[in-house]
Amino acid sequence: MHYILKDENAIYYEVGFSCDNALLIVVGEEKYFITDPRYTTEAKEHIRGAEVIEAKELVGAASALLRRLKPKKLYYDPKELGCIELAALQKLPLVLAKRPHLSWKKRMIKTEEEIELLQTSARLNRRAFDDFASFLCEAEGMSEKRLQFEAKRVLSRYGEYDLSFEPIVALNENAAKPHATASSKKLQRGDLLLFDAGIKYRRYCSDRTRTSFYGKDIKFTKEQNFSSKRVQKAYDIVRKAQEEAIKRARPGMMAKEIDRIARDIIDKSEFQGTFVHSLGHGVGLDIHEMPFINSKNEQILEEGMVFTIEPGIYIPNEFGIRIEDMVVLQESYAKVL
């Protein structure tokens, strides 16, 4: 298959290097990395299995290369290339064929090396959660905005690691928004605190969420004791839904079947209809990639796929609860990373 890539992570997966201004053309077994003079030196130092072509105008260089190589068909991911790039390529004597999620599909089943990188990322993230919990013990009175800032400092170990995404630190009713924006609300003893964060290790992401009670101290373990009976009941249901979905996940199941396991537990409780998002998503070089674990996806899951399992209950203006772990499908079970 002949194809062109622009996405940084898609290119990195192919050749071990990428930057914010590059194209990768693959024709048969040959790969060509086209970038501008700012990146050519570094590209030549790090790229594996590709010829580096320096050009000030990337699409023009790509067009000239394709005219010389003469592939009859070139696949591309429609979410990567813009109108100007497509217009230039459409002038060539070849067929441009759409292949949605071209790179995601190639990366869906992780290699042993990738699983090790993801596991390392997840372990470092868990350690960062513990470090942030220690910080929180002395953080009473700090706003969500300040806590989010401090979380980034702790997660990155003062810049040693990049973050998978902007962390979420949400208190009480703000936690009822699955992707809550940090507010000026201040942390007080007795609060519910939802923390969703991840770091990158050698570009591979991690993703974890814990919902905890802020008493004399705080721990990001699954064993939690809330002062409110209603909150505790909701928490126990989310925990059961998450643990049951992990326990029953197997290769050969459809993605929607795993979503249904967790969703049924919540919907059969008094909190029916409060689980408002999908159960999970693939994780790799991107924080959200295939497979998507939702109520409609009939994709058959396979050994080596890595994804999150993160059910939740969200009661607007009251509270929100989510528990999330990354798992890898192995021969007959899902292993928590």
Q: What pairing do the DSSP bridges indicate for beta strands 191-197 and 208-214?
A: antiparallel
Find the mean pLDDT for residues 242-269.
98
Q: Tokens 């998002």 identify what position?
A: 277
Find the mean pLDDT for residues 99-124.
97
Contacts of 105 (CB under 8 A, 6+ apart): 290
255 has pLDDT over 90: yes
pLDDT band (50, 70, 90) for residue 155:
very high
82 has pLDDT over 90: no
- What pLDDT sits at residue 337? 96
pTM score: 0.94
Helices H / strands E in the chain, number of each: 9, 18
84 has pLDDT over 90: no
pLDDT band (50, 70, 90) for residue 158:
confident
Is the link from the previous residue into 291 a cis peptide, with omega within 30 of 0?
Answer: yes
Domains, the chain, in order of start with CATH, read 3-107 (3.40.350.10), 112-336 (3.90.230.10)
Let me know: does 242 contact 310? Beta carbons within 8 Å.
yes
Contacts of 194 (CB under 8 A, 6+ apart): 168, 169, 170, 171, 175, 180, 209, 210, 211, 320, 321, 322
Tens digits of residue pLDDT in 293-321: 999 999 999 999 999 999 999 999 999 99
d(Cα 79, Cα 76) in Å, to the nearest integer?
Answer: 9
